[in-house]
Amino acid sequence: MSETSRKVPELSLLSYVNGNSTERARFVDQLFSGIKDYGFIILTDHTVEDSVIKKGYQAVEDFFALEEEVKKKYAIASGGQRGYTPFGTEHAKDNPHKDLKEFWHVGREVSADHRFAKYYPNNVWPSEVASFRANLENLYDSLDQTSVHLLDALGEALDVPKNYFRDMIDTGNSILRAIHYPPVGEAPPVGSIRAAAHGDINLITILMGATASGLQLLDRDEQWLDVETKPGQLVVDSGDMMSRITNDIIPATIHRVINPDNSNTARYSMPFFVHPNPEAILECIPSCVGSGAKYPPISAHESLMERLRDIGLMG
């Protein structure tokens, strides 16, 4: 890959949502090649309103500014699937050093009699931040709809039935994670960075532009590449579940968040992890079988539980 081409591709999601057949086909091709060849793409426009993003970030910053003892009231025993996870809890797979972050999870809400209720813990909401619930729910819903458009387009590229991904993520176990990376100080723990190199667990991740730089991806040439976005843009990357069902044709993207040069700088980011529903079966897509499927079928729930244990969120 030439040096001039080593830049994360930028695409217009609205060209797919609102475009003609030629524009839609171009987006499908560019999304597939970008995710496959780089692992990340940047959406220059999309279906999430800027005001929804701004209000979400403000609510998150207000929560993380609370006292530690207040925040810890919302640390619940659900494998980190809902509520607050304190600083220094999570680590990357096969890495003993803790990440320098704290975060909050918002997940899918279903009724008590829904067949997936046994998989989905109830969300918890901090009473100290009045706008938190409304703003995070609005953000969740907007990103959820955006994920449908993106997976529809990837489905076209992968030649699956029209509703393949829609059925897979219908009432899916998708998670909105609000992350606070506090200032690292003059002497951060040896071996720890804000987020060590890792791949995401899910199908795709949609990341709203963070409040500070530091995100890097390991491109397919094994080079760390800075991912810089402008305000309002979204970043999309591929996860382990997408890698599994595509027989590694779309590999999971390895990425990290490095420590800043300025030790007094905080960082906030909000990735939306797009998951199948718990009972969806992850198996090789026919167009990706090639000389044979590399991985046996597994339910999305079983796959998730394996990875939560790997990163220290489940015993």
Give the pLDDT score at 1: 34
Secondary structure in 3-state letters for the chain: CCHHHCCCCEEECHHHHCCCHHHHHHHHHHHHHHHHHCCEEEEEECCCCHHHHHHHHHHHHHHHCCCHHHHHCCECCCCCCCEEECCCCCECCCCCCECCCEEEEECCCCCCCCCCCCCCCCCCCCCCCCCHHHHHHHHHHHHHHHHHHHHHHHHHHHCCCCCHHHHHHCCCCCEEEEEEECCCCCCCCCCCCCEEEECCCCCEEEEECCCCCCEEEECCCCCEEECCCCCCCEEEEECHHHHHHCCCCCCCCCEEECCCCCCCCCEEEEEEEECCCCCCEECCCHHHCCCCCCCCCEEHHHHHHHHHHHCCCCC
| In a domain? residue 19 | no
User: What's the rounded mean pLDDT across residues 115-135?
Assistant: 95
Better-scored residue on pLDDT, 232 or 63: 63
Whether the per-residue pLDDT at 241 is higher than 50: the answer is: yes
Contact 277, 116 (CB under 8 A): yes
Give the pLDDT score at 139: 97
User: What's the rounded mean pLDDT across residues 44-67?
Assistant: 95
The CATH number of the domain holding residue 192 is: 2.60.120.330
Closest CA to 272 of 138, 177, 168: 177
- Token code pair at residue 43: 């959406």
Whether the per-residue pLDDT at 4 is higher than 50: the answer is: no
| In a domain? residue 315 | no
Mean pLDDT score of the chain: 87
- Number of independent structural domains in the chain: 1
Give the pLDDT score at 232: 87
Give the pLDDT score at 24: 97
Q: Name the band, by pLDDT with cuts 50, 70 and 90, for residue 263.
A: low
| Window from 23-37, 73-87, 209-223 with minimum mean pLDDT | 209-223
Quote the CA–CA distance of 197 and 303 in Å, as a whole number: 20
Sheet with strand 234-238: strands edge to edge: 10-12, 40-45, 234-238, 204-208, 267-274, 175-181, 102-106, 83-85
Give the pLDDT score at 212: 60
36: containing domain: 28-310
| In a domain? residue 16 | no
| In a domain? residue 241 | yes
pLDDT in tens, 195-210: 778 789 999 999 987 6
CB burial of residue 93 (10 Å; 0-12, 13-18, 19+) = middle
User: What's the rounded mean pLDDT across residues 214-235?
Assistant: 84
Return the top range by mean pLDDT from 31-45, 140-154, 185-199.
Answer: 140-154
pLDDT in tens, 275-313: 999 999 999 999 999 999 999 999 999 998 887 777 666
pLDDT in tens, 149-165: 999 999 999 999 999 99
pLDDT in tens, 130-153: 999 999 999 999 999 999 999 999
| In a domain? residue 72 | yes
| In a domain? residue 220 | yes
| In a domain? residue 14 | no
Q: Name the band, by pLDDT with cuts 50, 70 and 90, for residue 228.
A: confident
Q: For a pLDDT cut of 70, what percent of the chain falls above it?
A: 86
| In a domain? residue 234 | yes
Better-scored residue on pLDDT, 66 or 194: 66
